[in-house]
Amino acid sequence: MFLTRLTWNPSATHLSNQYFTFCEVRFRALRDTQNPVTLAVTENSPQQVWEVDLRDWLPFEGQARVAASALPEGLLRNSGNVVQYVTPYATTRHRVGRGSIRLNWPQPVRGTLQLTARCDTP
């Protein structure tokens, strides 16, 4: 793809064309993207670390830089099916493309939560 930029040369009396080559825009990567992204994350078996890959939802398969919120939907349970009242802490920029977020729990839990993440820092 070529883009043209017209610039003014103050020492001349005309405009000059400058051509710049840019990399190809992957429009497929723009489809179904959002920032911030909010999605339901479900873990069916108790895990202490939940890994969430967000590259399919972030613009240009970008890095997951900020985990804005992680709110459980319903109850979280341990391996004995006992309700757990715990909160995770998040670490960002994991795995290929640094597009994953890890939710680290104090003990293994299963359940569903709503995760909101961003590829920029607001």
Q: Which amino acid is at 61?
A: E
Residue pair 50/94 in contact (Cβ under 8 Å)? The answer is: no
pLDDT of residue 111: 98
pLDDT of residue 1: 38
The reported pTM is 0.71
User: How far out from the chain centre does Cα 72 lie?
Assistant: 19
List average pLDDT for each run of 10 residues in the chain, which is 122 residues long: 45 50 51 79 97 88 89 96 96 87 97 93 78
> What is the Cα gyration radius of the chain?
22
